[in-house]
Amino acid sequence: MKIRGKAPHKPRNPLVVLVKQRKAGSHTPDLKQQRQKAKQELHKQIKKKNEQ
């Protein structure tokens, strides 16, 4: 009777390994988002002044 060791466990989905190894990006807003937000705020202020 032979005793068998466990074989290394393979993930069912081969992409899982790649996803787990990825690094998360920065959570701070980049310049593009800041510009868009500033532009939206400007449009809101202009619209509010025009309604008065």
For 2-31, what is each residue's pLDDT tens digit?
Answer: 666 666 666 678 888 788 887 777 777 789
Q: What are phi and psi of 22, to 5 degrees?
A: -70, 145
Give the pLDDT confidence score for residue 7 in this predicted structure.
Answer: 63
Tokens of 31: 């310049």
Give the pLDDT confidence score for residue 21 in this predicted structure.
Answer: 81
* Residue pair 43/36 in contact by the 8 Å Cβ criterion: no
CA 35 to chain centre: 19
pLDDT at residue 40 is higher than 90 = yes
Give the pLDDT confidence score for residue 1 in this predicted structure.
Answer: 60
Give the pLDDT confidence score for residue 13 in this predicted structure.
Answer: 83
- Please tell me which residue, 29 or 41, carries the higher pLDDT value: 41
4: helix, strand or coil: coil
What's this model's pTM, rounded to 2 decimal places?
0.46
